[in-house]
Amino acid sequence: MVKPLQALSFDFLNRYEPELAFSLRSLIVHKTLSVEEHNEVFNFTDDQTSFTLERLVNDRMICLADSDPDVEILQPERYTTDMRFRVHPLVQNPVSSMLSRSNLLH
């Protein structure tokens, strides 16, 4: 017997720390951001940016801008400043909805 599909839950997005939510907002507004641009926008150190982006990559919220979003990103030792990221196309709508509910995106 086949069971009907259940809707995916993105409730965990509401529990994201502010730096993760603001990073997602910036990626949606700007379409893509490089590691260097992320550093400049948030006045973060390389380590802070690497931690933030790595968390979003691990949660499958973002992917490399110039690659197939379904291909897993191998975690490099350190993100290089020219690497560009974007919000994963499959989570664009849930992320936008969460940011709108939080009054971070209009």
- Asked if 88 and 28 touch (Cβ cutoff 8 Å), the reply is no
CATH of domain 16-101: 1.10.10.10
Task: Supply the pLDDT for residue 55.
Answer: 92
Task: Supply the pLDDT for residue 21.
Answer: 93
Q: 68 in helix, strand or coil?
A: coil
Task: Supply the pLDDT for residue 74.
Answer: 60
pLDDT one digit per residue (tens) for the chain, 106 residues = 788 888 888 888 888 899 999 999 999 999 999 999 999 999 998 889 989 999 999 898 998 887 666 666 665 666 777 888 999 988 999 999 988 988 888 7
Task: Supply the pLDDT for residue 77.
Answer: 62
Q: Give the start-to-end residue ranges of the domains of the chain.
A: 16-101
Of the candidates 41, 90, 38, the one whose C-alpha atom is nearest the C-alpha of residue 62 is: 90
Task: Supply the pLDDT for residue 42.
Answer: 93
**How is the chain split among helix, strand and coil, in percent rounded to 5?**
50, 10, 40
Task: Supply the pLDDT for residue 7.
Answer: 81
d(CA 53, CA 33): 11
